[in-house]
Amino acid sequence: MLIGVFGGTFDPVHLGHLVAAEQSREQARLDEVLFVPAARPPHKSRESLSPFGQRAEMLALAIAGHPAFRLEELEKDRPGPSYTADTLEELHRSQPDARFALILGADCLPELAGWRDPGRIGNLAEIIVVPRAGNEPAKQLVPRSVNIRTTLEMPLIEISSHDIRRRVAQGRSIRYLVPRAVECYIETHGLYRGP
């Protein structure tokens, strides 16, 4: 079984995430895609993040009905920062017969060498590269231990969680940027509104 691992803060999940996950599933022939929300990402302050439970609930709403998409909350109760290498290690322990492919944006490739234990990441998963506008996959910067399985061919979707939060704070529409269920959740729970 080949399982895609799509990690991130997902604050909130948006259609760009879902298109990338579906194209990864199809083009890399993944049996399943796990959406793994980070509880404590090392590069973001806790205060700026919505609570883990709300981000997980929005993800569950967004992927409902897709038989190959699954929410994985293993980082919820883990102490300390959410490191990709630790997440992959835990997934291997829980599913020792599976192989894993980490879904990463092309903009993350140059940073991969500076992540915690990039060699371990390379031993635990292949990489699926999601193209980003203005970011040619910088494969020459990727650690040797990392195997790029595929670089997706897909439309470049310029949607960001940051922009969605900004739009909500300004009272602007986010229709067609996030799934309708996520839009309703944001509205019902009063997320991202300005002070």
How far apart CA 142 and CA 160 sit, in angstroms, is 24
| Assigned domain for 190 exists | no
- Both tokens of 5, joined, read 């691992």
DSSP conformational letter for 36 = E
Tell me the CATH number at 25. 3.40.50.620
Q: How many domains does the chain have?
A: 1
Angle made by CA atoms 176, 182, 185, in degrees to the nearest 5: 130
| Assigned domain for 189 exists | no
DSSP conformational letter for 113 = G
| Assigned domain for 169 exists | no
Residues 93-139 have pLDDT tens digits of 999 999 999 999 988 888 888 889 988 999 999 999 998 876 565 55
CA distances from residue 106 to 24, 128, 134, 162 in whole angstroms, order as listed: 13, 9, 9, 18
Residues 51-94 have pLDDT tens digits of 999 999 999 999 999 999 999 999 998 888 889 999 999 999 99
| Assigned domain for 170 exists | no
